[in-house]
Amino acid sequence: MRFKANDWLVHPQHGVGRVVKRVIKKSGQGSSQEYYEIAITSGTVWVPVEGSPSRLRRITPKSDLGRYRALLRSRPTPLATDYKQRQTTLSERLKESTFESKCEVLRDLMAFRWKKPLNEYGRNMLRDVRQLLYTEWAAAEGLSVTEAAHEVDALLLEGKETYRTTAG
């Protein structure tokens, strides 16, 4: 997938950014490679145009958010009680780097946390996936990150109430 200047996209580790331009950088050995220069909140990221742009994707369309609202409210998938198995499962799910996988991981980690405190790894993953999801939600919906966080958290709370009612 090719991107052009001003396209909004998602980098799997750095989150939402905007393509500033395509640039050619030369290495110390005289060879050159073309990169996307991507402006993100914390600075700039350069991603090779050839080879790894598949790691990049366009932001989720606003028209798809209804589906993700339902997903965040839906019954969570139970996570393993063994922390190593839980870490592996969640990490594998997040490797997909899709908006859907982030919504599912956030929903499932929150539900796990309702019953049992998360370990440090789980707390860090929850923090990171929340921030990535809030930022993309804000960009897709045209909201501030704070407004997006309030909406996502409210959806998770609705799911929690439904889950409690039907689990009991």
- What CATH number is associated with residue 116? 1.20.58.1290
% of the chain with per-residue pLDDT over 70: 95
The domain total for the chain is 2
Q: Find the mean pLDDT for residues 71-99.
A: 93
Is it the case that residue 65 has pLDDT exceeding 90? yes
49 found inside a domain:
yes
Question: Quick one: tokens of 132?
Answer: 């990535």
Same-domain pairing of 79 and 50: no
What is the per-residue pLDDT for 82? 93
83 has pLDDT over 50: yes
Going by pLDDT thresholds of 50, 70 and 90, the confidence category of residue 168 is very low
Count how many residues are written for the chain: 168
Same domain for 48 and 107, yes or no, is no
Q: Could you give the dihedral angle defined by the CA atoms of residues 7, 4, 42 and 61, in that order, rounded to the nearest 10 degrees?
A: 20
Indicate the pLDDT class of residue 54, thresholds 50, 70 and 90: low
Q: Is residue 52 part of a domain?
A: yes
Whether residue 75 is predicted with pLDDT greater than 90 in this model: the reply is yes
* Domain span at 113: 62-167
161 within a domain of the structure (yes/no):
yes
User: In whole angstroms, what is the distance from residue 106 CA to residue 125 CA?
Assistant: 9
Which CATH number goes with the domain that contains 51? 2.40.10.170
In one-letter notation, the amino acid at residue 90 is L
Residues 132 and 159 in one domain: yes
Q: For residue 2, is it within any domain?
A: no
Per residue in 113-154, pLDDT (tens digit) is 988 999 999 999 999 999 999 999 999 999 999 999 999 999
Q: What is the pLDDT of residues 4-22, one digit of tens each?
A: 999 999 988 888 999 999 9
Which is nearest to 39 in space by CA: 64, 68, 8?
Answer: 8
Residue 75 corresponds to which tokens in the numbers above? 């019954």
For the residues 37-63, what does the mean pLDDT come to?
86
85 and 156 share one domain: yes
Instruction: For residues 47 and 31, give the distance between their C-alpha atoms in angstroms, rounded to a whole number.
Output: 16
The residue out of 41, 58, 75 marking a domain boundary is: 58
Q: Which of 38, 33, 41 is nearest to 58 (CA)?
A: 38
